[in-house]
Structure 1
């Protein structure tokens, strides 16, 4: 993908070059929509977000608890909870996932004696971190495959040079939030072990992988030596991430976190919001995944019924509660149709569209969360018909 991670994470909220009012229009349309498949926290006004966090905080922290200082207090509570949920010995809070992942990979490079990381070319460090693995951490990357999926066991075995760490992004977001089968996941981990490599999982969105794998979080995380998880991508937290794994490696990671400038004086707002996400959003994710599959099927049916010359929902059966939609129109045409539908009917079906792949094709990411659970398949098909009515014929 050619756009930056902030744009892909929250496509409704990034101003396009030369369009100073485009963000304001998108946010206004999202706030004003009576019906949407997902309501981003970024669309909530600042004061309302502050008030909601303060009102909910007593659900996860004591009213008289002290604020954290350099990672104690509520931050330590969050770390313990993440380690428990993932079945790991320890976890460390990081202000960003980018930092957590770089630290994990450089720690493993030191322990394995090999600074080469095998990963997918669409993985987050290759696409969204401005070459940080090599520029900042002195690491080198190789690619077992460039197919739009995770590598297979044979591709890992046949990689013609040694590597110290195999990094797997679960799900692989820029390929369409795709996951391997459980058997494929087990096999690729075993192939890495045969190569004397450790396995690190980019689990920014690991929380919603349990329905696809049919396994618990500890079982999934248990196949990897270390796992990074995000608190804002799926759990609706303010920010932050955690690195979980062996206690000795996590302690080493804390040292590198300080060196990278990630030992912040106070982080309690992010930690509280993360605990609230674990308490309230995490249990809802399987329902979101199940309904995303209903929505995806209805979208396909809707585009077919509306006579769109070509469309694709990818994956056909979503692996998580997020997936891609592809249409043969320019992004500005699709953006205008999306915004016009929201402004005129109060229904926001799609977020921002991007040019990608062959000329003339555009892609958007669909996320189904609490708001989307109220949509029936018929509601989705009707919304598609209204959306297509705004496209050129």
Structure 2
């Protein structure tokens, strides 16, 4: 390999090592821990939880059943069932609704997780058919749901819509979209992998959000820092049927106590902190804007301009490998991690990254963010392939 050949694998190894050595981290989830470190962390986080002296779970009883009850209580639903993955939970939920409505067509956004990241599992495994209310990179509107040209049995709404920039509708828009589905005699399912951080944007609690839908899926490792796992919540009859399908799909795992314990710890530790993360994400986003403007970036995009949750996208007119090198080398030399991995966009020379504001970012002031982000950008040479702007004149045009 020559010095001019970009090696993503080597860059990833450097990024992980630099992040592990960092004393300050602005963005990320901390998934780089070793097995031993994660075991020690789990023991420390769960030391005060009740029921540790009871036997481990077997096929979903014990600590798993306790977690299910906790989720149902938090969401205000009749019941909840633990699933090893969200992919399985959502397939089961929508398969159950298809049987009950008599319609196997699901309306969802083309950027939603089942369309982007599940290898066509809806159709290949569960026999479901998908229609798209819109192809715009935003949540669908009530008018678009009403205007679908064919019947559909269920409307699935991803809250927030991650691949569009962690976007959420307003509370009023969400209510109207749900009502539009009801007018079409369809049930409503919330793809709530990151539902936990939505109350700040909507201005209502989790039970009020969940009450709009017929079923809700939530994740335990996104937002809550768990190991793995998900829950499907809704009416007791639906959850009972979902448990049967969970077994058929191979999800009735013999023991799941590590994931359940980590989820319970995350609900205790992270759920109360999420509003502070969401609030601080707005501070971080504004500080990054200031850094980009003062650094002479030809143009940039914050998506959304004001974060809806504690996560948002940053788009810059540089190749991903140049941004990765600048970010990693800065972390190696200063023990300060600002950005995670950069992803190339379809437009040559334009890249984006996802910023996740968590506990490690709360100690960062706006000045800290401006200084560190500006220092990363200064590492990119002028000839590193700046794009022509991709259609935007400058940063101010995007805000």
Q: Do the structures match in fold with TM over 0.5?
A: yes
After TM superposition, the score normalised by the length of structure 1 is: 0.94
Match of 2:70 in 1: 81
Match of 1:248 in 2: 237
Secondary structure at the aligned position of 2:47 is classed as helix
The question of 1:257 aligning with 2:230 is answered: no
Which string of whole-angstrom CA distances, capped at 9 and with x for unpartnered residues, describes residues 325-345 of structure 1?
000111100100000110111
Distance, in Å, in 2 between the alignment partners of 1:261 and 1:313 is 41
Match of 2:396 in 1: none
Distance, in Å, in 1 between the alignment partners of 2:262 and 2:48 is 11
After TM superposition, the score normalised by the length of structure 2 is: 0.93
The aligned length equals 378
Q: Deviation of residue 62 (structure 1)?
A: 2.4
| Contact 1:117/1:165, CA 8 A, preserved across alignment | yes
Which string of whole-angstrom CA distances, capped at 9 and with x for unpartnered residues, describes residues 40-78 of structure 1?
331222111101212332322323111000000000000
| Contact 2:11/2:324, CA 8 A, preserved across alignment | no
Match of 2:331 in 1: 342
Match of 2:391 in 1: none
1:1-393 pair list within 5 angstroms: 19-393=8-382
Q: Deviation of residue 20 (structure 1)?
A: 4.0
Q: Deviation of residue 19 (structure 1)?
A: 4.5
Distance, in Å, in 2 between the alignment partners of 1:274 and 1:63 is 14
Distance, in Å, in 1 between the alignment partners of 2:239 and 2:181 is 21
Which string of whole-angstrom CA distances, capped at 9 and with x for unpartnered residues, describes residues 5-62 of structure 1?
xxxxxxxxxxxx9644333211101111111113533122211110121233232232
Q: Deviation of residue 384 (structure 1)?
A: 1.6
Q: CA RMSD in A?
A: 1.3
Distance, in Å, in 2 between the alignment partners of 1:164 and 1:180 is 22
| Contact 2:112/2:161, CA 8 A, preserved across alignment | yes
Unmatched runs of 5 consecutive residues or more in structure 1: 1-16
| Contact 1:150/1:179, CA 8 A, preserved across alignment | yes
Which string of whole-angstrom CA distances, capped at 9 and with x for unpartnered residues, describes residues 286-328 of structure 1?
0000000000000001100111111111111000000000001
| Contact 1:38/1:370, CA 8 A, preserved across alignment | no
